[in-house]
């Protein structure tokens, strides 16, 4: 059977379009999503198929349209909000953090918020600090939301479709640097369940755990380390909330080593959470403490070389692995 190869951005669009055909309550709104075909062409052609009542161009007004979508979700619609960048979500902090994830709780179960908020997350495009946010560190702190970070085109489709069908609010973090990535994506209905990590590369010496784009940095590092005779098992966590700690623990109990790679800052982050949980579950199995590789603890720089050094790149990961394994 021949594989169907499409881009990451096409996979995202396919998930949205299929769910919109299935469910009239689903609609997409955001800046430039309709007539402009999306700032990154994720929603290309959707206006033609679904019309302006369901593919809705908004003004630059994140707090307003995010709040509008949350209100609509309270009444049972299933909005998809596109933030051109998660960096812009900061001006919508109150609706997305105070309303969406807390509505079910504060109303004692009366009003849920089945919304998907999606957009570009992370540095890598030389955009400087204000446009390069990795929000997973800040936002994953909040109970009531789910957080999904796909690293491959098939997951982009399957996880976004799952997000749209989910009854809870989902923060869906995409990397602009991955949108042109090509891969096999199943046609038709395709759903990837949340809370199920996947082993991207089996190995025996150390477990690398990551989410989103840095999964690729881990795979690059693993390739390089294999030449040195070091065998890395690379786990793609896929979702941060829920976190599939079981798959991670199973791997660490086998390898007896763990390096967590997270593109958000180190202080109070998914990386620190995973490290803490691994320490708790695998205390007697670890040959060394869990090592962590994050974006450098500084604002994201503009200069190309500084930005590359800032990211949790393959070189820094390889260094951490050697250190974890006491390889000089």
Partner 1 sequence: MSSVTDPAPPATTGGRPLAERTSATPKQLQEWLRQMLLIREFEIRTMQAYQDKKIGGFCHIYIGQEAVAVGCTAAVQHADPIITAYRDHGHALARGMDPKYCMAEMFGRIGGCAKGKGGSMHMFDKPNNLFGGHGIVGAQTPLGTGLAFAKKYQDEVIEGGVNKHVTLCFLGDGALNQGGFYEAMNLASLFDIPVIFVVENNGYSMGTSIERGTSMSHRIIAKGEGCGLAGYEIEGMDVITVYEEMKKVADIARAESRPAMVDLRTYRFKGHSMSDPRKYRTRDEEEQWESGDPITRLRDAMIGGGLIDEEGFKDLNKAQKIAVREAITWAENSPEPDASELYTDVYVEKFGPYIGTSMPQIVTDAEGSR
> Which candidate, 311, 232, 307, 228, places its Cα nearest to that of 264?
311
Q: Which of residues 235-264 bind partner 1 (CB under 8 A)?
A: 242
Question: Which of these ranges, 106-114, 118-126, 215-223, 281-289, lies near partner 1 under the rule CB under 8 A?
Answer: 106-114
Question: Which of these ranges, 33-41, 160-168, 183-191, 317-325, lies near partner 1 under the rule CB under 8 A?
Answer: 160-168
Residue with Cβ nearer partner 1 (128 or 195): 195
> Which candidate, 151, 12, 166, places its Cα nearest to that of 100?
166
- In the list 2, 3, 53, 229, the residue contacting partner 1 (rule: CB under 8 A) is 53
**HEC string of the chain?**
CCCCEEEHHHHHHHHHHHHHHHCCCEEEEECCCCCCCCCCCCCCCHHHHHCCCCEEECCCCHHHHHHHHHHHHHCCCEEEEEEEEHHHHHHHHHHHHHHCCCHHHHCCCCCCCCCEEEEECCCCCCCCHHHCCCCHHHHCCCCCCEEECCCCHHHHHHHHHHHHHCCCCEEEEECHHHCCCEEECCCCCCCCCCCCCEEEECCCCEEEEECCCHHHHHHHHHHHHHCCCCCEEEEECCEEECCCHHHHHHHHHHHCCEEEEECCCCCCCHHHHHHHHHHHHHCCCCCCCCEEEECCCCCCCCCHHHHHHHCCCHHHHHHHHHHHCCCC
Should residue 71 be labelled a site residue for partner 1 when binding is judged by CB under 8 A?
Answer: yes
Smallest gap from Cβ 47 to partner 1, in A, equals 15
- In the list 58, 256, 269, 295, the residue contacting partner 1 (rule: CB under 8 A) is 58
Residue with Cβ nearer partner 1 (109 or 229): 109
Q: How many residues bind partner 1 (CB under 8 A)?
A: 45
Please say if 62 is a catalytic residue: yes
- In the list 110, 188, 284, 305, the residue contacting partner 1 (rule: CB under 8 A) is 110
How does strand 232-236 pair with strand 206-210? parallel
Given 62, 174, 176, 273, which residue is catalytic? 62
- In the list 4, 48, 106, 276, the residue contacting partner 1 (rule: CB under 8 A) is 106
Smallest gap from Cβ 250 to partner 1, in A, equals 17
Should residue 128 be labelled a site residue for partner 1 when binding is judged by CB under 8 A?
Answer: no
- In the list 39, 68, 181, 327, the residue contacting partner 1 (rule: CB under 8 A) is 68
> Which candidate, 220, 216, 292, places its Cα nearest to that of 261?
292
Residue with tokens 């660490």: 252
Smallest gap from Cβ 17 to partner 1, in A, equals 16
Residue with Cβ nearer partner 1 (126 or 277): 277
Should residue 99 be labelled a site residue for partner 1 when binding is judged by CB under 8 A?
Answer: yes
Residue with Cβ nearer partner 1 (66 or 161): 66
Residue with Cβ nearer partner 1 (59 or 188): 59
Reading across the β-sheet that carries 26-30, which strands appear in turn? 55-57, 26-30, 78-85, 116-120, 170-174, 146-148, 239-241
Residue with Cβ nearer partner 1 (63 or 308): 63
Smallest gap from Cβ 299 to partner 1, in A, equals 25
Question: Which of these ranges, 6-14, 141-149, 250-258, 314-322, lies near partner 1 under the rule CB under 8 A?
Answer: 141-149
Please say if 48 is a catalytic residue: no
* Structure tokens given for 229: 């005779």
Given 32, 131, 281, 319, which residue is catalytic? 131
Which residues contribute to the site for partner 1 (CB under 8 A)?
Answer: 24-25, 27, 53-54, 56, 58-59, 61, 63-77, 94-95, 98-99, 104-112, 143-144, 146, 166-168, 195, 242
Which residues are tagged catalytic? 62, 131
């Amino acid at each position: 059977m021949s594989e169907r190869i499409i881009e990451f951005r096409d996979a995202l669009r396919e998930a949205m379009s299929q769910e919109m055909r299935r469910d009239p309550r689903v609609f997409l709104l955001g800046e430039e999503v309709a007539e402009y075909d999306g700032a990154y062409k994720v929603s290309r052609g959707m206006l033609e198929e679904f019309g302006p009542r369901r593919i809705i161009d908004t003004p630059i007004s994140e707090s307003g349209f995010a709040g509008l979508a949350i209100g609509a979700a309270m009444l049972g619609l299933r909005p998809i909000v596109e933030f051109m960048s998660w960096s812009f979500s900061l001006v919508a902090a109150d609706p997305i953090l105070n309303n969406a994830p807390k509505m079910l709780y504060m109303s004692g179960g009366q009003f849920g918020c089945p919304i998907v908020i999606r957009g570009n997350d992370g540095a890598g495009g030389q955009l400087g600090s204000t446009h390069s946010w990795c929000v997973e560190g800040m936002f994953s702190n909040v109970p009531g939301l789910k957080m999904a970070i796909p690293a491959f085109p098939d997951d982009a489709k399957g996880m976004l479709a799952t997000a749209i069908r989910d009854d809870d609010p989902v923060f869906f973090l995409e990397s602009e640097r991955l949108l042109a990535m090509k891969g096999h994506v199943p046609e038709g209905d395709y759903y990837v369940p949340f809370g199920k990590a996947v082993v991207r590369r089996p190995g025996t010496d150390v477990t690398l755990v990551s989410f989103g784009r840095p999964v690729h940095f881990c795979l690059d590092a693993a390739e390089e380390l294999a030449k040195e005779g070091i065998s890395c098992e690379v786990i793609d966590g896929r979702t941060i909330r829920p976190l599939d700690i079981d798959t991670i623990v199973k791997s660490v109990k086998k390898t007896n080593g763990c390096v967590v790679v997270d593109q958000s800052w180190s202080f109070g982050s998914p990386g620190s959470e995973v490290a803490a949980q691994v320490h708790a579950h695998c205390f007697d199995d670890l040959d060394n403490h869990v090592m962590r590789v994050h974006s450098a603890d500084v604002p994201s720089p503009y200069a190309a070389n500084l930005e590359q050094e800032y990211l949790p790149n393959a070189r820094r990961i390889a260094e951490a692995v050697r250190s974890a394994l006491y390889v000089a």
